[in-house]
Structure 1
Amino acid sequence: MSRTVGVREFRQDLADYIDQSEPVTVTRHGHTVGLFIPVRPDRKAEVGAYAEAVKKANALLAELGVDEDEVVAEFDTARKAKQKT
């Protein structure tokens, strides 16, 4: 079953609607203007993808002979230089 809300309420409470599992019908002046259907991500697949990305990043750092502290220091230097411009 779908809940029906006005566009202002939908915009105001969007974060709540994203966390719900049922669709939301959005109306403007009593006419349907859209339908929001929240999608539940596959958390296990997301975590697996992030873990694989970490492995690849660590392997690349090791291959380049760079550690995480060096990367963070370089990032901080670049950020500070950008702030000055």
Structure 2
Amino acid sequence: MRRIDIPDLLTPTVDLQEFRAALDEYIASGMPIMVTQSGKTAGYFIPARKPPAQSMRKQDLAEDAFADLLDDHEMDEVIAEFEMLRKQARPSSRRATDACANV
């Protein structure tokens, strides 16, 4: 795990109760915040970065393709095809390990 040093002078400080009340705003701000409780540092809140728009677009396309697949086929067919593809994707060493475990 990598240590991240956050200078206290540049980090806004917020009491825990205020932080809880305005959590949505702090997430949207994208800035790290020092959270205090009874005047002592309780921790730091570092919002995760939003995924790039291109990544979100790819996810939307994948969801649409999956929905179309479900519309075109029966669920049993989709599950059977998934299981077949999953078995084909397994590395051969895994199959050997599974075979030894069944002995």
3-state SS of 2:73 partner: helix
Q: Which runs of 5+ in 2 are unaligned?
A: 1-9, 75-103
> Counterpart in 2 of 1:62?
72
TM-score (norm 2): 0.57
Code of the residue aligned with 2:31 in structure 1: it is E
Q: Could you tell which deviates more after superposition, 1-10 or 37-46? A: 37-46
Does 2:30 correspond to 1:31?
no
Runs of 4+ in 1 over 4 A off after TM superposition: none
Q: With structure 1 as the length reference, what TM-score do the two structures score? A: 0.67
Name the counterpart of 2:59: 49
Flag the structure with more relative contact order, 1 or 2, with Cα contacts below 8 A and sequence separation at least 6: 1
Question: Partner residue of 2:15?
Answer: 6
For the pair shown, the structure with the greater C-alpha radius of gyration is 2
Identical counterparts, % of pairs: 31
